[in-house]
Structure 1
């Protein structure tokens, strides 16, 4: 296990691009030099500031399915902080990750701009290495949508952490668009829709990643603030699929949330699912018929988000409308990614739903 700090920040966009951004975002040239002010993430709603630490893990007993060598993971741990004084806010992407994502974004999510955005300038509300608030707290594992990196679902995790949870965001290298490992940035091997065998490998690998992480949580420097008797899991899309499969197959996980992931990969396992589950879906998802069939008969509370689409559960809910306002994506692209409705209202429903569900199933630890 290796603590991993992001490289020092640098300006990703060059002078001409910054000048264009100043016009598109309605900012002055001086403001643009600090990155596009319009690309902001909403603050968490809880009473606690949020700390963040990043770790590199290696599983020497498992081969990586996407390239030769042992399986490696990057994780971010978000937690309620005692203080954030002197601890800087963490960029959503490291400079090298931002460089890679600038190239990959239009391929991973058609319609995202190929230029005009300084992705490395987007700040999270997590404060690097802030001292944690005393007390053991429930732990929530998060696995992102297929092709997405863990940091593109930061805001929901920050909100949960600000309300007293420890949240572990898991990257899945080879699947994720880009992941910065100690050896450098590793890009996705998945360009275009994957075939069924590849999807199965992706889901099985993600479940194995989660089980390995469960084995290692007690070794992390932040283990003293984790209550490993109360663990939940949530995930989006392919991550939702993996989260529910992990919930059904690992007794260490007590409750889970599925954010619009299919559940038709292992019907026998799903038939044995007997733990609390909450499931969200949108009315704009193009594969809603398959989704509903795969959910049939599974005991879970369900929530429908109207006027929304599949990536509303990620940080695109906040970034895409701002890109549209800047003229960098069309209304059609926005609708295809996050829906045409009020993304702020939808986000509030998702935040409240997850907080309430995990508060009932994994109540916060009393402060010690």
Structure 2
């Protein structure tokens, strides 16, 4: 797992390491692109609303572009909606970001541009007394905030508020209101020092976002352009019940943030090597490690260090038949794009594993929700107690 994860970090791929392969080789036997990728529908009873926020941290000079006197990021809130009629579906990737994304990674631009989510932009919030639990999401290095939309939507569909974060200049591209697009400024030579800096920046971004959620909950609007927020967002968050998950370097970000910020009560690392002292130091709060199927490769030593240091509830699971790229939306996009890209079944399996992507998404959704239900809602889940007959693909490692 260490080598697979590290290669992914060093390549700075936005969805999976295979995106770089597609960009390099080109779709030599390409067929016409289809209208748009289809994301699996969330299984929960809630209708989904979403809104993006342009947040500016004036306390920080941008660490990747020091000529910028403030750190700017985009965050997106996914929430249960009171009603969605008349509100437009949110795109998977903002339109201005699509050309760079498509050119960099070789996916058909029109297909990406036409891909919609199940969230409705600006729909009124369905509030609950005391607020709803909140889950933060950090993508892998190079990834956009939407790269695990299938998981974010599932949590929101079951009553969580999910906040996904674009780490500007680390992400492949970020579009800001007005159409300005900022692309990655991570150095071409990605070494340990660069990766450590990325985790530190991401943690600071995450803690800043938490501060801004508190402002929204109190009735203030932190959006830099003062764009209208959905009705009912004030008081919608229960910030005493905050969790976080992330894929690859986003998983390391979750571990580091949990160690340093007690506001985060539970965390999940999806197949990420843990980078830096805070990430491996553990905490006294629950944390789940979920790895890809790395066969006979040795255990990631950073996971061993974390395991020895972790004082709170802990578990390590493995999703058999998966790869490192199985933990984001690439796993459902690649099979749909295979003909357009000229990918063989063997190449698709290399990208997303041998486990059927629909099954993989269903399993990840079930375990992610069970973990947060148990530790943020105090609903005991049988899935967290050992191998379950409904999900034989999940192996309890320790």
Normalised by the shorter chain, which TM-score bucket?
0.7 to 0.9
Displacement of 1:302 in angstroms is 1.5
Candidates 213, 232, 236, aligned match of 2:243: 232
Name the counterpart of 2:383.
none
- 1:31-65 Cα shifts (integer Å, max 9, x gaps): xxxxx246211111100111000010000011111
Aligned counterparts of 2:298 and 2:249: Cα–Cα separation in 1: 13
TM-score normalised by structure 1 residue count:
0.83
Q: Is residue 2:263 matched to residue 1:252?
A: yes
- Give yes or no for contact 1:263–1:294 (8 Å, CA) kept in 2: no
Q: Aligned residue for 2:141?
A: 146
Relative contact order (alpha carbons < 8 A, sep ≥ 6): 1 or 2 greater? 2
Structure 2 equivalent of residue 122 of structure 1: 115
Counting matched residue pairs gives: 327
1:349 maps to 2:345? no
- Whether 1:157 and 2:168 are equivalent positions in the alignment is no
Paired position in structure 1 for 2:200: 204
d(CA) in 1 for partners of 2:150, 2:187: 26
Cα RMSD for the two superposed structures: 2.4
Task: Answer whether contact 1:137 1:164 (CA < 8 A) is retained.
Answer: yes
Change (3 A) 1:345 1:182: same
> Residues of 2 paired with 1:192 and 1:100: CA distance?
17
Tell me, yes or no, if the aligned pair for 2:196 and 2:275 is still in contact at 8 Å.
no
CA distance in 1, matches of 2:356, 2:175: 33
For residues 330 and 358 of structure 1, what CA distance do their matches in structure 2 show?
Answer: 37
CA distance in 2, matches of 1:225, 1:77: 11
Q: Which residue of 2 aligns with 1:60?
A: 58
- Alpha carbons of 1:296 and 1:231: their partners in 2 closer, same or farther (altered >3 Å)? closer
Instruction: Return closer, same or farther for 1:291/1:343 CA change in 2, 3 Å cut-off.
Output: farther
Give the SS at the match of 2:272.
coil
Structure 1: segments with no counterpart, 5+ residues: 1-19, 26-35, 107-112
Whole-angstrom CA distance in 2 between matches of 1:239 and 1:217: 19
Residues 47 and 163 in structure 1, CA contact (< 8 A), matched pair in contact too: yes
Distance of 1:287 and 1:200 partners within structure 2:
23
Local SS of the residue matching 2:60: strand
- The aligned residue for residue 15 of structure 2 is none
Contact 1:261–1:291 (Cα < 8 Å) also in 2 = no
- The Cα of 1:282 is off from its aligned counterpart by 0.4
Q: 1:230 to 1:210 in 2, by over 3 A?
A: same
Change (3 A) 1:219 1:287: farther
Q: CA distance change for structure 1 residues 323 and 272 in 2, over 3 Å: closer, same or farther?
A: closer
- The match for 1:79 is 79
> Do the aligned partners of 2:36 and 2:114 also contact (CA within 8 Å) in 1?
no
